[in-house]
Structure 1
Amino acid sequence: MIQAFGLSSNPRKELPPAVDDVSFEARAGCVTTILGTPGAGKTTVLRLMLELQPGRGITYFRGRPLHRIAHPSREIGVLLGDVPGHPARTVRGQLRMLCAAAGVPARRADEVLEVVGLVSLRDERLGTLARGMDRRLGLACALLADPHTLVLDALTDGLSARERHWLHGMLRAHATQGGTVLCTTTDAKEAARTADRIITLDHGRLVADQGAAEFSRTRLRPRVAVRSPHATRLAALLTKEARTAQRSVEVVQETDNRLSVYGSTCADIGETAFRHGILVHQLADEVGDMGSGADSARQPEPEDHRETPAPRTVGEVDGATGRETATAMPEDAAALGRGSAAPAPTEVSTAGGASATATSARTQGARPRPCDALTSDSLPPLPPPISVRPAPSPLRPLRYELRRAGGVGTGFLTVAAVLVSSALVAVLLARIGHTPQHRLLAAWPRELPLPPAAIGAGLLGAIAFGDEFRHPALAVDRGTVPRRLGLLAAKLFVAAITGLLLAFLTVGCDAEVLYLVYGRDLAQVPAEWLPLTASWIGLVIGCAWAGVLAAGIFRSTTAGLAAVVAVPVLVVPLVQKAVEGPSVRSAAGFSVRLRELFLAQWPFGGERYLAAAARMIAQPVGGALALSLTALLCAYLVTTLRSRVR
C-alpha cells in the first residue's frame, strides 16, 4: 500500500506551487490512476513521493518511507517518462546493468525480456527503439527486481490501442498477484476502463478520489451506441419522439451507420426501431471509451472505414421546452465535471430490429472488476519471482560500475582520442624542440595546464555518475544505487584502473611515435624514471578521482571536468603563493628524514617508492591535486551523511 500525506512542492517565486497538499492511498491488489490534464501536477506528485524533488510531505510504502527502505528497487519499480538510458547501450546491456545495481542475478534480464516480448530486440540500441518497444523496456526495468509497488508515469502515451491493451494487462496481472500499481494518465476514458481507483488532480490540487464505478457514474457521461444501416432515419425518429415526449435526448451521428444517443435507454431506442421496421446491428450502453475506439482495438475495421469524419449532432431536445437545438456535441463525451445520477450501464446488443432491455446483472459494464474479485486466467504472464535474495556483497557496486563503463563506447572513444591527440602533441613538441624528455613523453607542453591524458582521465571520471543522473531508479540520493561508500569505492577503483592504463598507454604510444618519426634518441627512458613515473601516475589517477568526486557532488559531468581543470588553473597558483610566502622554516630534506624514519629496509626497495610519492606530493601540482581531492572527498561524505540523516 502507498500512503501519501500532504505532498507539496516548493513555491515557484510568484507562481503557486505545482502541487499543494495532496494526500491519497493506493491499495495493494488494485490499479490506482492519477488523472489530470497536462500540467496538473501528476509527475510532480510522483517525484515528491520518490524523494526526487524537494518539497513537503511524506509517503509510506507498506508503512516505511523510501529513505528507510534498505533496497528500494526491490520494493518499488519506477518509470518516469522515457527509458533514461544511454542511446548506445543495448537493451540487454541496460537490463544487466540494472541487475547489478539492484543486486539480482544477471539471468533475471533474460527472464524479463522474454515476458515483455523483447527477446528478438535484446541486441538493439536504446536509441533505435520505437515508442512501443521503449514502453515495454521501461516496464521491464520496473519489474526487474520483482518489486511490490509499480510507480509509472504516462506509460501509454502515444501508443496504439493494441500496445495500450497489453500494457494494461501487465499492470492488472501485477495487481492480481497482490502488488500495488500507481500510474498517471490524461485520458479519463482510459482511466475509467482500466483502473480500480481514480485520483483526479487539477492545478496541483486533489479534486476527487473515487472508485472506478463512482467515477464513471459521476464524471463520465453514459450513452447508448447504435449501429444501423438506416442510422440517419433512426436519428430523425429518435429526435422527433423525444421532442413530442419533451425528454432531454441528444443524438450524435458519428459515422454513416453509428449513432451515440445521450439521455435515452436501450429499451426505448429498440422499441422505436422495432415500431418503424428499422434494422439494428448493435444496441449497447456505453460509459467512457467502450465504443468505436474500443471495438477497433479488438477487431480492426476495413480500410474504407478507418478514417471517419468528425461526429455531428443530429438533434438535441431540451426536455423543459421541447425545442430541438443543434448544439455541437464534442467527440469526447467523457469530459470531466459532467454528472449523471444514472447507474453504471452494461453492454447489450441486439440484431434484426428487436428491442433490447438493459439488465443490471453487471453494474460496471466492460470495466475491470474490483480488486477483491480479480482473476488471472486471461492476463499476460509476469516474470517469475526471485526466490533467493542474496545478502549485500562488495562485488555488486563493482559489477555495476564495470557494466556501466563497458556497456557503451564512450570510454573507448575517449581513450582513442587521448592517444591520438597525445601522439600529435608529442611530435609537434619534438619538432619545435626545447622540451624536457619527461614532458615530451607525456605530451605536456608548458603552455597547457594539463596533458591530454590527464584531461581524458578527468573526463572519464566525470561521466562516472552519468547513468545515475539519467535514470530515476539510480538517483544518487535515493533509488537502487544510493550514495553509499561502496558505490563510491567502486567508481574510484574503476577510475584508478582506467587512469593507470591510460597513463601507460599514452607514454608507450608517444614513445613509439617519437621513435618512428625521429629515431631512438627521443624515445629514451629518463634517468630519474621512478619518481617521474610515480608523479605521472599520480597526476592521471588524481585527475580521474577529482572528476568522479566533483561529478558526484555537483551532479553534473561538466562540473566534474571543470573541477579537474581548476586544479592547475586555480589551486596551483594558490599553493605556490602559500609556499613562496614568508616563512621561518622550510621542508628541505624531507625525503632524507623520511628515509631515516623507516630504519628497516623494505622488501623490493619499497622505501624508494615511498620517497617518490613524497616528492610527488611536495610538487605544486601534486600538492594542489591532493588538496583538491581531500576537499572533494570531505564534501562528498558530508552530503552523503546529510542525505542519510534526512
Structure 2
Amino acid sequence: MAMIEARNLAKSYAGKAAVSGLSFDVRPGTVTGFLGPNGAGKSTTMRLMLGLDNGSGTCTFDGKPFTSYAQPMREVGALLEAKPFHPTRSARNHLRMLAAANRIPDSRVDEVLGLVGLHDVAGKKPSTFSLGMGQRLGLAAALLGDPHTLILDEPANGLDPQGIHWLRELLKALAADGRSVFVSSHLLSEMALMADELVVIGKGRMIANGPVADFTKMSVRNHVRVVTPQASELASLIGAKLAGVGSVQLAAAGELTVTGLDARAVGDLAFDNAIRVHELSTHQATLEEAFLEITGSSAEYNAHAPEQHAPKPPTTPQEGPR
C-alpha cells in the first residue's frame, strides 16, 4: 500500500502561476477527490505529480518519484487524456504494446478489457470509439499493471449514467482493496457519493483539504428550519441564546432559519418555553453548494445571465381600406 505525498508543487506559464505551492497526501484505502473550477490548475498538478511537466516541488509514490520506476504501470496507473492511442492498432494490441513495455503478461490484457466492458470490441481501432469508450480504454490501460495507486483526470467524461455508476463502484472497490485513488471530476453529485477526502484548489492554490464531511460542514448554507405560529417569540429566545454567534432570520410567515444551534437545541428551547413547533428540520449543505460557495472568487470564467427584457405589447393590426 502506497501513499501519494505531494509537496510544494508549482508551475508557471509566461510568468503566470498555474500551480502555486500545493502540498497534500492521498492515503491508501481512500478515494480522494480533486476539485476546482475550470482553469484552477488540476490537470497541470496531475502532470507535475507524474513528472510530465517541468516545475518545482516533489511528488512521491511509496517514497519514490514516478519517473524512478522501471515498470511504472505496475506501480501507478494514470488516465490524463481520453484518447492517446495509436490510430492503426486495435484496442487489444494497444494494450498488448503497453503490457510488453512493462513486462505484464498478455493474459492481463483480456482481464482489463473485460473489467471495463470492452471485450466485444477489443479487435476494433480506438479511432472508431466514442468518447466514453475511449475513456474505458484509457482506464483499462491505467489498470493494466494492477497498480496500488491511480491518478485519473475526469474519468467519467463521456460516460452515460450507467457507466458513471459502474465507474463509481469500481473506484470505491479499488480503494477498499487498499489502493490510493486520486480522481478529478466536475460531477460533484458523483464525487459526494464516491470520495472520502477532498483536495480543493482555485487559481492554483489550496482552498481546502480534508474529509468530505468537514468540507460541507463549513458551508454557511447549513441551517435549521423551524415552522411555528410563535415565530417572533422563538426568534427572540434564539437570538438571546446565540449571543451574536450564529443567526436567526424570519424566512417567511411563521418560518425561521437558524445557524449556530442544532435542531436538538432549538427544539429543547421551544419546549422549555411552551412554544408550539409544527416543523423542525436540518438542512445540510450539498457538496455542490459548499463547492460553489468556497470557490466563487476563484473561478477563471464568470458568465453573466442574459438580461431579461419586458415583453413587448402586442401590436394591434390596422385595418386596411375596405
| Pair 1:107–1:17, CA change in 2 (3 A) | same
Q: What is the TM-score when the length of structure 1 is the normalising length?
A: 0.37
1:190-246 alpha-carbon deviations (Å, 9 max, x no partner) = 32321111001100011110201111222484599xxxxxxxxxxxxxxxx953346
One-letter amino acid matched to 2:293: G
Alignment gaps of 5+ in structure 1: 225-240, 250-262, 274-282, 290-331, 340-646
| Pair 1:220–1:133, CA change in 2 (3 A) | farther
| Larger helix fraction of residues | 1
For 2:128 and 2:220, the matched residues in 1 are separated by 39
Q: Is the 8 A contact 2:215 2:290 kept in 1?
A: no
One-letter amino acid matched to 1:5: R
Q: Secondary structure at the match of 2:181?
A: strand
For 2:120 and 2:282, the matched residues in 1 are separated by 41
Q: Is 1:159 equivalent to 2:159 in the alignment?
A: yes
| Pair 1:100–1:213, CA change in 2 (3 A) | same
After superposition, where does 1:81-480 map in structure 2 within 5 Å? 81-219=81-219, 221=221, 242-245=251-254, 247-248=256-257, 287-288=285-286, 333-337=289-293
- What is the number of equivalent residue pairs in this alignment? 253
For 2:204 and 2:290, the matched residues in 1 are separated by 21
Alignment gaps of 5+ in structure 2: 225-249, 268-276, 296-322
Identity of aligned residues (%): 39
One-letter amino acid matched to 1:171: L
Q: Is the 8 A contact 1:75 1:149 kept in 2?
A: yes
Q: Is the 8 A contact 2:168 2:190 kept in 1?
A: no
| Larger strand fraction of residues | 2
Q: Is the 8 A contact 2:185 2:191 kept in 1?
A: yes
| Pair 1:101–1:134, CA change in 2 (3 A) | same
| Pair 1:194–1:49, CA change in 2 (3 A) | same
For 1:338 and 1:183, the matched residues in 2 are separated by 20
| Pair 1:70–1:215, CA change in 2 (3 A) | same
| Pair 1:130–1:220, CA change in 2 (3 A) | farther
Q: Is the 8 A contact 1:192 1:216 kept in 2?
A: no
For 1:179 and 1:32, the matched residues in 2 are separated by 11
After superposition, where does 1:11-26 map in structure 2 within 5 Å? 11-13=12-14, 15-26=15-26
For 2:284 and 2:121, the matched residues in 1 are separated by 39
Give 1:8's aligned residue. 10
One-letter amino acid matched to 2:30: C
One-letter amino acid matched to 1:12: Y
Highest RCO, 1 vs 2 (Cα 8 Å, sep ≥ 6) = 2
Shift of 1:83: 2.8
Shift of 1:79: 0.7
For 2:216 and 2:191, the matched residues in 1 are separated by 9
One-letter amino acid matched to 2:72: P
> Which structure has the bigger radius of gyration?
1
For 2:158 and 2:185, the matched residues in 1 are separated by 11
Q: Secondary structure at the match of 2:218?
A: helix
Shift of 1:132: 2.0
Q: Is the 8 A contact 2:263 2:282 kept in 1?
A: no
Shift of 1:37: 0.8
For 2:220 and 2:29, the matched residues in 1 are separated by 25
Shift of 1:131: 2.1
Q: Secondary structure at the match of 2:104?
A: coil
Give 2:53's aligned residue. 53
Shift of 1:63: 1.1
One-letter amino acid matched to 1:139: L
Q: Is the 8 A contact 1:221 1:338 kept in 2?
A: no
* RMSD of aligned Cα (Å): 2.9
Q: What is the TM-score when the length of structure 2 is the normalising length?
A: 0.71
